[in-house]
Amino acid sequence: MTPELTTDRLKLRGWRKSDFPAYADFRADAERNRYSIGGASDEHTAWNALAAICGEWVLSGYGTFAVSQKTDDRVIGYAGIWFPKDIQEPELTWGLFAGHEGKGFATEAAMAAKEWAYRTFGWPPLMSFIHPDNTPSIALAKRMGAVLESEGSLRGAHRLIFRHT
């Protein structure tokens, strides 16, 4: 079961089937996915990705939260822990759907997810893989206190590795 977290303005909650149209629109947007491994995706691939996100909670007890505003329960993005079998340690990840950027929502959601993960699992500082050209995510990581630790790759794609403190 996905826990529910709240911040001043947001709710981080489990995904619902009714969230899929917004998630599929996000995944289909080539511009919003230009830094993602694999880029934009079709509806079938988006469905499988969302099912994997939900499955992570069942299998591991952590995962990526759906993020909504408290005033309107419609999903506006995601934040949480991504830890597939092919990476060495958990990643703090985040993203916003079109029209919700520039309001501090990603920072607020990512901070809540990070604090929850530390409280719940006692993990050492999390990391985030960030594409070198993804200046908004680099800026967000730095606002959260993360520092550039190294350069590396994620599934064959060049990434900066930021360490959260």
- State the pLDDT confidence band at 118, using cuts at 50, 70 and 90: very high
pLDDT, tens digit, 9 for 90 and up, residues 142-159: 999 999 998 887 777 688
- State the pLDDT confidence band at 66, using cuts at 50, 70 and 90: very high
pLDDT at 38 over 90: no
Whether 75 is covered by a domain: the verdict is yes
pLDDT at 39 over 60: yes
d(CA 105, CA 102): 8
The whole model's pTM is what?
0.93
Q: How many domains does the chain have?
A: 1
Predicted confidence at residue 154, as pLDDT, reads: 78
Whether 157 is covered by a domain: the verdict is no
Domain of 51 in residue numbering reads as: 5-123
Whether 108 is covered by a domain: the verdict is yes
d(CA 57, CA 81): 10
- Work out the widest C-alpha separation in the chain, in whole angstroms: 40
